[in-house]
Amino acid sequence: MKPSQAVLLTPVARIAIGILKAISRASLLGILAALLFSDGPLNPLRLIRLVTVLSLLPALTALLGQRLLRARVQIAEGNLTVEQHWRKIEVPLASIVDVVPWVIPLPGPGFWIHLRAGGRWKYGIQSEQPAALNDAIAAAGVPSRFGFASRASLVYSAARSAYGTPTPFRRVLQFPLFALLPTIPLFRVHQIIAYGGAFGEYYLYGAKAYLAGFAIYWTTVTIYCLLYAAALRSAVEIAAIATALVAPRHAPTFRKGSEVLANVAYYLGVPIVVILRFVSG
């Protein structure tokens, strides 16, 4: 088995990082709900602060924790070898009783290992490809213990990993760069209405004020795109979990199709909303 990237987590670390990730994602939906049911628009600076404190900071903290605890996992010479920057742990395969996938894939998909002596190993292994790693361990003669929920979790995680994890470049393209498309016409209209011309703020208050205004507008639109994407992502993940439970054989196909639909809804939905705003305004 080739070495695969993973994260080595104690139960406390898993809970802490999982809570941070859950807060980060749930807060986006909470902010979106607050915007939808509020009487008027939220002050842009307050919106930026809310998203930064409630979503971005927890997400970055969780990411940092996972980065610090990441490891390379390999099965070789009769051992399960977990190697981090500062240590190397070897667990004899003969000492492993079974492998139990996590029922709830937080902070990501993974599993526990149970040993003949000592019960459950003190570390859990988070892996973006838990099915492949589980199969490699099973091929070495170690059985896996599946309940209905843990099997569905493994199916869900495998379908998700097969589709691929978005790269940082794709995230930048999806949010700040894509948000420029609606930002430019919206900001231009704002300048005309508020200052009498496309560069009205620049002529009245200078380049610094104009660029600061544009930056706030761009950041605000980016946040709205992020909130919209979070709603789409929630729908995709809930439907994917349901598919893994009731129709596991179709989980990979459903994941691929739902991701395509979500991308279409995002990249076409945002321009449509902007066009409708101009038409109705």
The structural domains of the chain, ordered by start, are 1-165 (2.30.29.30), 167-281 (no CATH)
The arithmetic mean of pLDDT across residues 54-64, rounded, is 96
How would residue 158 be classed by pLDDT, with cut points 50, 70 and 90? confident
pLDDT in tens, 67-82: 999 999 988 888 899 9
The arithmetic mean of pLDDT across residues 219-225, rounded, is 96
pLDDT of residue 166: 77
- Among 95-104, 213-222, 244-253, 261-270, name the one with the lowest average pLDDT: 95-104
260/240 Cα distance (integer angstroms):
13
- In this predicted structure, the answer to whether residue 152 has a pLDDT above a threshold of 80 is yes
Mean pLDDT of the chain: 89
The phi, psi pair for 245, rounded to 5°, reads: -80, -45
216/222 Cα distance (integer angstroms):
10
Q: HSE-up of 218 (CA within 13 Å, CB side)?
A: 13
pLDDT of residue 1: 60
The arithmetic mean of pLDDT across residues 110-134, rounded, is 85
Backbone region of residue 172 per phi and psi (left: phi > 0; alpha: psi in -120 to 50; beta: other values): alpha
pLDDT of residue 281: 56
How would residue 198 be classed by pLDDT, with cut points 50, 70 and 90? confident
How would residue 280 be classed by pLDDT, with cut points 50, 70 and 90? low
How would residue 174 be classed by pLDDT, with cut points 50, 70 and 90? very high
154/105 Cα distance (integer angstroms):
9
pLDDT of residue 24: 96
115/93 Cα distance (integer angstroms):
9
pLDDT in tens, 253-278: 999 999 999 999 999 999 998 888 77
8/262 Cα distance (integer angstroms):
32
Give the predicted TM-score (pTM) of the model: 0.89
Q: HSE-up of 226 (CA within 13 Å, CB side)?
A: 24
Tell me the DSSP string of the chain.
---EEEEEE-HHHHHHHHHHHHHHHHHHHHHHHHHHHSSSPPPHHHHHHHHIIIIIHHHHHHHHHHHHTEEEEEEETTEEEEE-SS-EEEEEGGGEEEEEE-SS--SSSEEEEEETTTEEEEEEEE-S-HHHHHHHHHHTT--B---HHHHHHHHHHHHHHHH-PPPHHHHHIIIIIHHHHHHHHHHHHHHHHHHSSTTHHHHHH-HHHHHHHHHHHHHHHHHHHHHHHHHHHHHHHHHHHHHHHH-GGGHHHHHHHHHHHHHHHHHHHHHHHHHHHHHH-
- In this predicted structure, the answer to whether residue 162 has a pLDDT above a threshold of 80 is no
The residue behind tokens 């390379």 is 72
Answer yes or no: are the C-beta atoms of 14 and 104 closer than 8 Å: no
- In this predicted structure, the answer to whether residue 144 has a pLDDT above a threshold of 80 is no
The arithmetic mean of pLDDT across residues 176-198, rounded, is 92
Q: HSE-up of 10 (CA within 13 Å, CB side)?
A: 5
The arithmetic mean of pLDDT across residues 97-118, rounded, is 87
